[in-house]
Structure 1
Amino acid sequence: MQVPEYVIDASSIIYGWDNYPIAQFPGLWEWLATQIAEQYLIIASVAFDEVDDNSPECAVWLNGAGITKIIPQNAILQDARRMMRLLGIMNDDFHPKGVGENDLIIIASAKSFGRPLISDESRQKVPDLPKKRKIPAVCAMPEVTVQCINFLEYIKKSGMVFR
């Protein structure tokens, strides 16, 4: 079964890789490879770089599956800067408990492609200080409006049964 088209964050594909080992869940990874081959699942290049830095074996698998990497063009970078302003982030003064520059590029990439984002960053009560918001809270902002689900929700929404 095919699910809607999504952009996946490094946190989610690494979560899947670590918690659903390919040797024990081959059907899941075969299905993900199909989703990737049909471009139902793509990744921002900055997220892919994070995967490569943190889970090189997963990055090799993604490349082997032929994942499409979104290279941030000017419109994506401008939208990420707009989000920085919305969060009150000036002069790259990111809060350690909030999103980073790559996170905003990932959100802007999903928005530019009109796709929901799969992210396993923690859900949080919206912090008083906007720059403390993580990916799901930024996605939920009325000025951003990108649907954000986690890896397990993605699998459940697919309706797939793996045997």
Structure 2
Amino acid sequence: MNIYIIDTSSLIEMKERYPKNNFPTLWNKVARLIQDQRLITHIEVKKEIEKGDDELKEWIKKENIKRMFIKPDKNQIEKVQEILKKYPFLAKADKPEEPNADPWLIALAIVKKEKEIRLVIGKRNNYIIVTEESSRKIHRIPRVCKEIGIECIKFIELVKREGWVF
């Protein structure tokens, strides 16, 4: 089963390309993925969204939506330190005071995958990062994901994989 770990850029893409009033079925399907714990993200994404003042900020406050935000644990913190040591460009040193979800999303995918490998015998989940960042830019999530073996897709690919038709 696919478990999607969504980046701020994809949530913004969803808001801008598929407005809630025009695509209510899409937003309901996304909410269902969250309810089924198949769409998750890191609490740092919430912090990035809260910097804005729009409908996305209001949407993430809903009880059934805010459950998608995962708080860091010891394993994630250790993994972020490893990631930033190997990929220091993810640290965004020019804006240290701003929320930065990128290394946390990657760490979340790695930790979830590693935990499952230790605990589950048989069919495992596929942890996929969903981001609108370009793989052409060297200092981005897709490049790191490719190097460490974590699948990375855009939001429209999530829609296709889930077989959603509108």
TM over 0.5: yes
Instruction: Classify 1:82/1:21 alpha carbon distance in 2 versus 1 (closer, same or farther; 3 Å).
Output: same
Given the superposition, is the C-alpha separation of residues 93 and 154 from structure 1 closer, same or farther in structure 2, using an over 3 Å criterion?
Answer: closer
Name 2:149's counterpart in structure 1: 145
- Partners in 1 of 2:133 and 2:52 — Cα distance? 15
Q: Which amino acid letter does the alignment assign opposite residue 142 of structure 2?
A: P
Q: Secondary structure at the match of 1:43?
A: strand
In structure 2, how many angstroms separate the alpha carbons of the residues matched to 1:109 and 1:95?
Answer: 24
Identity of aligned residues (%): 28
Q: 1:62 aligns with which of 50, 60, 65?
A: 60
* 1:161 is the counterpart of 2:165: yes
Cα deviation, 1:108-162, whole Å, max 9, x if unaligned, reads: 012212221111112216x4xxxxx201111111xx2211111111111111112
Letter in 1 for 2:11: I
SS at match of 1:122: coil
Q: Do the aligned partners of 1:107 and 1:117 also contact (CA within 8 Å) in 2?
A: yes
User: In the alignment, what sits opposite 1:41?
Assistant: 39
Give aligned pairs, total. 147
Equivalent residues of 1:42, 1:68 under 8 A apart: yes
TM-score, L = length of structure 2: 0.78
CA distance 1:93–1:51, change in 2 (3 Å): closer
TM-score by length of structure 1 reads 0.80
Once residues 49 and 145 of structure 1 are traced to their aligned partners in structure 2, the CA distance between those partners, rounded to angstroms, is 27
Deviation, structure 1 residue 83 = 1.3
Taking the aligned partners of 1:29 and 1:61, their CA distance within structure 2 comes to 10
Q: Which shows bigger deviation, 50-59 or 144-153? A: 50-59
Unaligned runs of 5+ in 1: 128-132
Amino acid at match of 2:19: P
For the structure 1 residues 101 and 50, does the alpha-carbon distance in structure 2 shift closer, same or farther, using more than 3 Å as the test?
Answer: closer
Identify if the C-alpha distance between structure 1 residues 72 and 21 changes in structure 2 by more than 3 Å, giving closer, same or farther: same
Which ranges in structure 2 are unaligned for 5 or more consecutive residues? Answer: 114-126
